[in-house]
């Protein structure tokens, strides 16, 4: 027998929807955190990996680079696969493969086995990563709920780099480097089990796969990331570096021409037609470049100059994460009042201040006088920039292109990370004097230039009505 719905029935539906929304956000944020953490978690464990498996000095860097290369090179392909095949389906498949690759990496008994596992982790992360942000766009309606969800995602994306350093130090000190691989397994298994309950599948689209665009963008992206990695280790003038970057420039230059002729392009060119979205992509690139370079050299400074151990080094970066999370949680409440553009400007200025402070590092300094203040400033600034830029990049993206937009945003993060380290390493080599701190001051000065450029993009790279759009979008 049918009965009329009551206010209690509506309230029960809202509660169930709220619980499902929280579960969905937890699943998606946990996935993004794991994927970003894995880009940095092995850094502190590298000496233990070298001792355990007998890596050469040259081969050891590829424990990190194999992941970065596969992840950054395949992101656009993974994002479009989700748009065409369904984001939840692609997301779950990516997480399942990532979990299996992590387990294989923990069992690796030879360098080649670990490098293969790291490359498989990166490739599967390229499937899961774009889907996590695209599912936020399709799961949460436009307005305050989506703004809060994007803030949580941005916390995971930006804070994961620092969390990886802390967690890597803990696991290496208390267990072994293999724990760095195995820690992903229970988290990945939980995500695979919970995702079908928490996430709705996006509609599949009947379309021919753009093979030409997929090959062009994948090869171009892989060569670009590889060239930047080579530049950091061998210099910008080295033959393979120049060859990789030139080939990447040719392929990525041809990519828009290929896409313009494709019926269902891997990356819809319309994503680049809005000035605010392009500005948000640039902000993500510059923020990650500055942050990655800063963390790379701070790790060297704290361990090599201040003589901290791996565990103390990891905890030294913990204030960055605490401040970043606190500020990122506040941004969704500020967006309706101020909009995205002013918050990005304010956050960029804080990053400039933190990086300018770091240019004063010296061998006779201390953690409290040289490190704590800058990382607090940079953590606060990056929290404001990351959430606001993510909001601006995903605003008004058609549901059928959410995966591609997410992939571009995350590609900016991967390319930015490699670019930042390459640029700062180059400047460090060119300015190194009697002590390591001399070159590091030069490296942090290069980082300062990146943050100033980020401030310029925030101030002038968005339409003047962008703040009004941000306010209305957050309130709807």
CATH assignment of the domain containing 278: 1.20.1250.20
Contact 299, 161 (CB under 8 A): no
Residues 169 and 181 both lie in one domain: yes
Q: What is the pLDDT of residue 58?
A: 65
Q: Determine, yes or no, domain membership for 98.
A: yes
Residues 227 and 281 both lie in one domain: no
- Tens digit of pLDDT for each residue in 51-110? 889 887 667 778 888 888 888 888 888 887 888 888 899 999 999 999 999 999 999 999
Cα 362 to Cα 64, 190, 441, 446: the distances in Å are 28, 46, 8, 17
Q: Which of 140-144, 254-258, 439-443 has the lowest mean pLDDT?
A: 140-144
Residues 397 and 430 both lie in one domain: yes
Q: Which of 22-31, 149-158, 212-221 has the lowest mean pLDDT?
A: 149-158
Residues 219 and 126 both lie in one domain: no
Residues 370 and 456 both lie in one domain: yes
Place of tokens 């760095």: 180
Q: What's the average model confidence in pLDDT over 430-449?
A: 85
Question: Residue 350 contacts by C-beta under 8 Å, 6 or more apart in sequence?
Answer: 377, 378, 380, 381, 384
How much is the pTM? 0.82
pLDDT-derived band at 464, boundaries 50, 70, 90: low
Q: Determine, yes or no, domain membership for 11.
A: no
The residue out of 263, 285, 304 marking a domain boundary is 263
Q: Determine, yes or no, domain membership for 205.
A: no
Q: How far apart are CA 212 and CA 247, in angstroms?
A: 16
Question: Residue 12 contacts by C-beta under 8 Å, 6 or more apart in sequence?
Answer: none
**DSSP line for 298-367:** HHHHHHHTS---HHHHHHHTHHHHHHHHHHHHHHHHHHHHH-HHHHHHHHHHHHHHHHHHHTT--TT--I
- Pick 235 or 192 by higher pLDDT: 192
| Average pLDDT score, the chain | 84
Residues 244 and 311 both lie in one domain: no
Q: How many domains are there within the chain?
A: 2
Residues 33 and 141 both lie in one domain: yes
Residues 122 and 147 both lie in one domain: yes
Q: What is the pLDDT of residue 421?
A: 84
Q: Compute the CA torsion angle 396, 146, 322, 232 (nearest 10 deg).
A: -30
User: Which DSSP symbol is given to 435?
Assistant: S
- Pick 466 or 462 by higher pLDDT: 462
Q: Check the CA dihedral 297-302-305-307 and report its sign.
A: negative
Q: What is the pLDDT of residue 117?
A: 95
pLDDT-derived band at 449, boundaries 50, 70, 90: very high
Question: Residue 118 contacts by C-beta under 8 Å, 6 or more apart in sequence?
Answer: 62, 63, 64, 66, 67, 70, 101, 105
- Pick 158 or 417 by higher pLDDT: 417
Q: What is the pLDDT of residue 356?
A: 96
Question: Residue 9 contacts by C-beta under 8 Å, 6 or more apart in sequence?
Answer: none
Q: What is the pLDDT of residue 16?
A: 45
Structure tokens at 99: 């979990």
SS3 321: helix
Residues 113 and 172 both lie in one domain: yes
Q: What is the pLDDT of residue 205?
A: 65
Q: What's the average model confidence in pLDDT over 163-171?
A: 80
Structure tokens at 266: 């891997």
Whether the per-residue pLDDT at 429 is higher than 90: the answer is: no
- Burial level of 404, CB count in 10 A (0-12/13-18/19+)? buried
Q: What's the average model confidence in pLDDT over 447-475?
A: 76
Bin 307: left if φ > 0, else alpha if -120 < ψ < 50, else beta: left
Cβ-based neighbour number of residue 300 at 10 Å: 16
- Domain span including residue 58: 23-199+264-475
Residues 119 and 214 both lie in one domain: no
Nearest to 424 by CA among 345, 364, 355, 340: 355
Cα 317 to Cα 192, 263, 313, 435: the distances in Å are 31, 47, 7, 23
Q: Which of 71-85, 386-400, 458-472 has the lowest mean pLDDT?
A: 458-472
Contact 286, 415 (CB under 8 A): no
Q: Determine, yes or no, domain membership for 5.
A: no
Q: Determine, yes or no, domain membership for 97.
A: yes
Q: What is the pLDDT of residue 469?
A: 46
Whether the per-residue pLDDT at 467 is higher than 60: the answer is: no
Percent residues over pLDDT 90 in the chain: 33
- Tens digit of pLDDT for each residue in 121-142? 999 999 998 888 888 877 887 7
Whether the per-residue pLDDT at 204 is higher than 60: the answer is: yes
Q: What's the average model confidence in pLDDT over 194-210?
A: 76
Residues 150 and 238 both lie in one domain: no
Q: Where are the alpha helices (DSSP H) in 108-143?
A: 111-139
Whether the per-residue pLDDT at 12 is higher than 70: the answer is: no
- Tens digit of pLDDT for each residue in 362-373? 888 888 988 999
Q: What is the pLDDT of residue 201?
A: 77
Q: Determine, yes or no, domain membership for 1.
A: no
Q: Determine, yes or no, domain membership for 356.
A: yes
The residue out of 221, 243, 263 marking a domain boundary is 263
Structure tokens at 348: 């960029």
Structure tokens at 435: 């002590």
Q: How far apart are CA 414 and CA 379, in angstroms?
A: 19
Q: What's the average model confidence in pLDDT over 302-308?
A: 83
Q: What's the average model confidence in pLDDT over 248-261?
A: 91
Q: How far apart are CA 469 and CA 463, in angstroms?
A: 10
Residues 335 and 402 both lie in one domain: yes
Contact 104, 124 (CB under 8 A): no
Contact 317, 165 (CB under 8 A): yes
Q: Determine, yes or no, domain membership for 15.
A: no
Whether the per-residue pLDDT at 474 is higher than 90: the answer is: no
The residue out of 227, 248, 263 marking a domain boundary is 263
Question: Residue 311 contacts by C-beta under 8 Å, 6 or more apart in sequence?
Answer: 169, 170, 172, 173
Q: How far apart are CA 4 and CA 10, in angstroms?
A: 11
Query: What's the length of the chain?
Result: 476
């Amino acid at each position: 027998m049918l009965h009329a719905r009551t206010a209690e029935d509506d309230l029960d539906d809202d509660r169930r929807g709220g619980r499902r929304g929280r579960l969905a956000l937890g699943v998606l944020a946990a996935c993004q955190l794991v994927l970003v953490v894995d880009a940095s978690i092995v850094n502190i464990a590298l000496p233990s990996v070298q001792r355990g498996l007998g890596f050469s000095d040259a081969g050891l860097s590829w424990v990190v680079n194999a992941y970065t290369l596969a992840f950054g090179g395949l992101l656009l392909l993974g994002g479009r696969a989700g748009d065409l095949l369904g984001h939840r389906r692609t997301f779950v498949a990516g997480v399942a493969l990532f979990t299996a690759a992590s387990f294989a990496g923990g069992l690796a008994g030879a360098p080649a086995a670990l490098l293969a596992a790291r490359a498989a982790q990166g490739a599967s992360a390229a499937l899961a990563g774009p889907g996590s942000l695209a599912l936020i766009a399709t799961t949460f309606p436009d307005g305050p709920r989506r703004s809060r969800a994007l803030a949580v995602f941005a916390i995971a994306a930006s804070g994961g780099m620092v969390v990886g350093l802390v967690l890597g130090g803990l696991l290496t000190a208390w267990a072994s480097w293999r724990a760095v691989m195995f820690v992903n397994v229970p988290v990945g298994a939980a995500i695979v089990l919970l995702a079908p309950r928490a996430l709705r599948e996006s509609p599949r689209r009947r379309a021919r796969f753009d093979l030409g665009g997929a090959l062009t963008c994948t090869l171009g992206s892989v060569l670009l990331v590889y060239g930047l990695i080579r530049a950091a280790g061998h210099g910008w003038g080295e033959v393979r570096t120049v060859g990789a970057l030139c080939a990447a420039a040719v392929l990525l230059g041809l990519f828009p021409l290929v896409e313009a002729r494709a019926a269902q392009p891997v990356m819809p060119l319309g994503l680049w037609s809005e000035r605010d979205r392009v500005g948000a992509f640039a902000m993500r690139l510059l923020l990650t470049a500055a942050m990655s370079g800063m963390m790379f050299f701070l790790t060297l400074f704290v361990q090599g100059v201040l003589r901290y151990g791996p565990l103390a080094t990891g905890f030294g970066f913990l204030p960055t994460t605490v401040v970043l999370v606190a500020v990122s949680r506040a941004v969704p409440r500020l967006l309706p009042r101020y909009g995205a553009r002013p918050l990005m400007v304010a956050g960029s200025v804080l990053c400039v201040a933190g990086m300018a402070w770091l240019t004063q590092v010296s061998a006779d300094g201390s953690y409290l006088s040289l490190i704590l203040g800058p990382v607090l400033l940079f953590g606060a600034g990056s929290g404001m920039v990351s959430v606001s830029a993510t909001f601006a990049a995903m605003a008004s993206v058609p549901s059928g292109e959410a995966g591609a937009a997410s992939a571009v945003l995350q590609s900016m993060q991967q390319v930015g990370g490699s670019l930042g380290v390459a640029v700062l390493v180059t400047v460090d080599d060119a300015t190194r004097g009697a002590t390591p701190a001399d070159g590091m001051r030069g490296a942090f000065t290069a980082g300062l230039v990146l943050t100033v450029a980020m401030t310029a993009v925030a101030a002038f790279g968005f339409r003047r009505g962008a703040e009004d759009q941000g306010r209305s979008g957050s309130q709807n």
